[in-house]
Every structure is written in structure tokens, then in C-alpha cells.
Amino acid sequence: MNQQPRIPDLETRQQNVARIREACHLLDAWTLKLDEVLAMLEADNRRQRQERLDGKYRRVPEKIGES
């Protein structure tokens, strides 16, 4: 019942390390892609906000003249 975990042989450890490194590489690549998408969405959000502000302040003189 009280078995100690067996340490894998050198080849198995090397294979595991290679798989873990590949997984880390893939995660890094996907993280970079997600960062790029996030940057595009943030830029679009800033552009839309600026357009709303530009439109809001463009209408202010018209309303003042109508009074």
C-alpha cells in the first residue's frame, strides 16, 4: 500500500520535458495572438469613443445658436 513513486528513466524524462516545452511554446504563441486581438479591440474602442466625443462637441454650437 505504501509504494514510493518511481522516478522515470532518462528517456522518459527527456520526452516529458520536450512535450512541456512544446506546450509552453504553443501557449506563448496563443498568448501573443490574444494580445494582438486585444490591442485591436482597444484601438477600435478608442476610435469609437473619439468619434462619439467629436460628434457630441460638434453639436454643441448648433444647440447654443438655437436658443
- 3-state SS assignment for residue 4: coil
Angstrom CA distances, 65 to 30, 53, 59, 62, stand at: 54, 20, 10, 5
What are the phi and psi torsion angles at 46 (to 5°)? -60, -40
Express each pLDDT in 4-57 by its tens digit. Answer: 889 999 999 999 999 999 999 999 999 999 999 999 999 999 999 999 988 887
How do the domains of the chain map onto residue ranges? 33-67
- Give CA–CA dist 37/48, Å, rounded: 17
pLDDT at 61: 56
**Residue 62 pLDDT level (bands cut at 50, 70, 90):** low
Reported pTM: 0.62
Q: What is the CA radius of gyration of the chain?
A: 28
The answer to whether residues 8 and 16 touch, using CB atoms and an 8 Å cutoff, is yes
